[in-house]
Chain A
Amino acid sequence: MHALALLAASVTVIGATMVITRKVAVHAVLYLVATMLGLAALLVMLGGSFAAMLEIIIYAGAIMVLFVFVIMMLNLGQPDSAREKEWLRPHVWLGPGVLAAIICAELLYCIVPLSDSVPSVVPITAHDVGLSLFGRYVLMVELASFLLLAGLVAAFHIGRNRVEDR
């Protein structure tokens, strides 16, 4: 495994663990952005350069920025992080941790026989993705647009109620 790949993988994993363990929300969001960048690097190595670019632009760029806005709006102060500390007692980690470990072990156990000799990874360019996107999966694109529209309407509706209550 190439050193660069190892580096990217480790950045992703450490970032992910830091996200779930931080008490302060803003720190968590920043760590999340780091994991996503690591992930993008990995995607490039996998030959999905178009996907990596999308990851960086949409995911890290747009969604994470949304997160930051919302966290700032919520104005989480000191008492919140104190409460987070109280919530994250070590014994709290025990139950879900064990469950997650079990699932990870089972997945690993199942996945090992699947992968076999790996042929050379030929990068899949944006050209191929575009062809298949609007070739076979044109219907999926339409459905995706419906999804986005629904999400838009929902967000707007929930947001609007807040004004009336005042």
Chain B
Amino acid sequence: MPVFSFNDTLLLATVLFSVGLAGVLVRRNMIFMLMSLDIMLNAAALVFVGAGARWHDAAGQVMFLLILALAAVETAVGLAIILCLHARGRPTLDADTGNLLQG
């Protein structure tokens, strides 16, 4: 019996994904949103590696690698935006104030 079956991986990834989602929806502070976003990304990465293991294909890990790159870039840009907002006199980092694109 393998150590950690594919079924469990999926189960864990779903839980992680929902937790990350909840975090994004609840928290109004941008930093916390970014962190929750990273959790969701990791959940997805987990599934990829699980699938790669399940079907003996290196592609899973290749995809994991790309998700890493993506996460890195996303965090970098996100933080840059946060810093810029903070500098512009938005101390509260409230996601709801930035609503100039209102329809």
Do A and B interact directly, with beta carbons closer than 8 Å?
Answer: yes
Binding site for B on A (CB under 8 A): 1-2, 4-5, 9, 12-13, 16-17, 19-20, 25, 28-29, 32, 35-36, 39, 42-43, 45-48, 50-51, 54-55, 58-59, 62-63, 66-67, 70-71, 73-74, 80, 83-84, 87-88, 92-93, 95-97, 99-101, 103-104, 107-108, 111-112, 114-115, 118, 120-124, 128-129, 131-133, 136-137, 140, 144, 147-148, 150-152, 154-155, 158-159, 161-162, 165
The reply to whether A66 and B79 contact each other, CB–CB distance below 8 Å, is: yes
B54, B58, B69: most-surrounded residue (chain A CB, <10 A): B58
Closest 7 CB pairs of A and B: A96-B25, A151-B73, A20-B23, A104-B18, A115-B7, A132-B58, A100-B22
- State how many angstroms separate the Cβ of A8 from the closest Cβ of chain B: 8
Contacts of B36 in A (CB 8 A): 19-20
**Do A158 and B80 have beta carbons less than 8 Å apart?**
yes
Q: Nearest residue in B to A50 (C-beta to C-beta)?
A: B61
Q: Which of A9, A67, A95, A154 contacts B75 (CB 8 A)?
A: A67
Closest A residue to B26 by CB, please name it: A96
Which B residues form the contact surface with A (CB < 8 A)?
2-12, 14-29, 31-32, 34-36, 38-39, 42, 45-46, 49-50, 52-54, 56-62, 64-66, 68-77, 79-84, 86-88, 91-93
A124-B53, A144-B69, A147-B70 given as contacts; is B29 within 8 A of A9 (CB)?
A: no
Known: A1-B5, A70-B79, A118-B7. A48 touches B49 (CB 8 A): yes
State in angstroms the CA–CA spacing of A11 and B71 once bound together: 22
Residues of B with C-beta under 8 A to A152? 76
A36 to B9, CA, bound (A): 15
Partner of A133 from B9, B62, B88 at Cβ < 8 Å: B62
